[in-house]
Amino acid sequence: MPKIAVTRWIPDEAVRVLESVGEVAVSPADRPLTPEELREFVSGSAAVVSMLHDRIDSTVAEAAGPGLKVVANVAVGYDNVDVAAMTERGVVVANTPGVLTDATADLTFGLLLALTRRLGEGERLVRSGRPWSFHLGFLLGSGLQGTTLGIVGLGQIGRAVAERAAAFGMRIVYSGRSRKADFAGEFVPFEEVLRRSDFVSLHCPLTPDTRHLIDAAALRAMKPGAYLVNTTRGPVVDESALADALEAGEIAGAALDVFEAEPDVEPRLLGRENVVLTPHLGSATVETRTAMAVLAARNVASVLAGAEPLTEVSA
């Protein structure tokens, strides 16, 4: 049976799907494989189930050998896969869109609330054992009603965030490649999103054009009282520029679930009370992570059975 290399643990439901079409090898290392380890691990594979921290390029394809037919990335983003190099070799690339939309949108809104209601500060205060007492000026935050949410990238997750924001009475402006005729929010240029929004939430893919999309100039263009939320890909934000902007009071705060050099974080962000940091939890529910892995496995099973993948990525 064809070898299927899985670069890190996946739920049993997904393993069973893979076992129906091949011999499954799951990496025993509970960490990202080094490039050398990854090439050795995928040797002789017909399929690779990869994680977002795996760089899948031509050297990995060469190591897998001529029998490699499919790379199934367990993520909606696929900036870690050289799709052009795979396509040139006739290797199908698939991702896992759709199944993580609600979980990521929920976390995005959780981060908005953590910022505005100072939940992290309050939780740290209670755990510290320091004395505190209720009074009308104690740990005051701000409400969301009547504020403007700016969404950068109105894909499935961006839309889901907008739906949640509407329930909180927020106005929506958005930027992207094109106006969405079936969406009630206001389509404006990216620069206007920055200028008008009380909250800027990032949902664009990581591409050469969006790397450091939020740089020093973009941060200066935001309102001094605005907040930045990133649940897409870390390198969309220049973390050093963000730290500078926060130190200078150019924006009010930020929440990051993803980081430029994950898992490392810009040190100047770590001690700031107006920054909320979470370790890439956007899709981290049992239901969602299982659905992602099963979809990746179904893509592999389909290709190895000679059929079309369910969610193919095109170069």
CB 227 within 8 A of CB 199: yes
* Segment 242-292, tens digit of pLDDT: 999 999 999 999 999 999 999 999 999 999 999 999 999 999 999 999 999
CB 289 within 8 A of CB 6: no
Which of 262, 268, 272, 312 is an active site residue? 262
**This prediction's pTM:** 0.93
- State the residue for tokens 């099963």: 294
Which of 39, 62, 280, 312 is an active site residue? 280
**Burial state string for 270-302 with b = 16 or more CB within 10 A and e = fewer than 16:** eeeebbbbbebebbebeebbbbbbbbbbbbbbb
203 is catalytic: no
Query: One fold for both 3-99+286-313 and 101-277?
Result: yes
191 is catalytic: no
CATH superfamily of 101-277: NAD(P)-binding Rossmann-like Domain (3.40.50.720)
Which of 233, 239, 250, 298 is an active site residue? 233
The CATH code of the domain at 3-99+286-313 is: 3.40.50.720
156-168 mean pLDDT: 96
Give residue limits of the domains in the chain.
3-99+286-313, 101-277
Mean of pLDDT over the chain: 97
The CA radius of gyration of the chain, in Å to the nearest whole number, is 21
